[in-house]
């Protein structure tokens, strides 16, 4: 896996993925721990209705995919790692 290789070589790695469930995020938590790194998540909490509107314009996904991802979504918790939300970033940037 490329992420593991990059971490071994000392790089900071950003994984851009939806990771909608705790189970899907578990791999990244384990890898961060393996390399003694902190896991930081950027939470992009876009409502399914907005995703559907955008997808209607772009026609990139079967709408069922958005519905499935929305229905299986599990909100990340601080047990999983540091979470940056839009509100946090806006407050930080002032």
Give the tokens for residue 69.
């991802």
Res 86: pLDDT: 86
Res 93: pLDDT: 83
Task: Show me where the domains of the chain are located.
Answer: 2-93
Fold held by 2-93: Rossmann fold (3.40.50)
Q: How far is CA 45 from CA 12, 33, 55, 62, 74, in A?
A: 24, 25, 16, 20, 11
The pLDDT-based confidence of 91 (bands split at 50, 70, 90) is confident
Write the pLDDT tens digit of every residue in 26-82: 999 999 999 999 889 999 889 999 999 999 999 999 999 999 999 999 999 999 999
Res 52: pLDDT: 97
Q: Taking a C-beta distance cutoff of 8 angstroms, is the pair 20, 74 a contact?
A: yes
């Amino acid at each position: 896996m490329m992420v593991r290789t990059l971490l071994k070589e000392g790089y900071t790695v950003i994984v851009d993925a939806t990771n909608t469930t705790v189970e899907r995020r578990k791999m990244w938590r384990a890898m961060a721990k393996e390399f003694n790194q902190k896991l930081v998540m950027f939470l992009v909490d876009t409502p399914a209705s907005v995703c559907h509107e955008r997808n209607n314009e772009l026609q990139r996904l079967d709408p069922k995919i958005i519905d499935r991802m929305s229905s299986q979504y599990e909100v990340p918790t601080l047990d999983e790692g540091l979470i940056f939300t839009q509100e946090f970033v806006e407050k930080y940037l002032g």
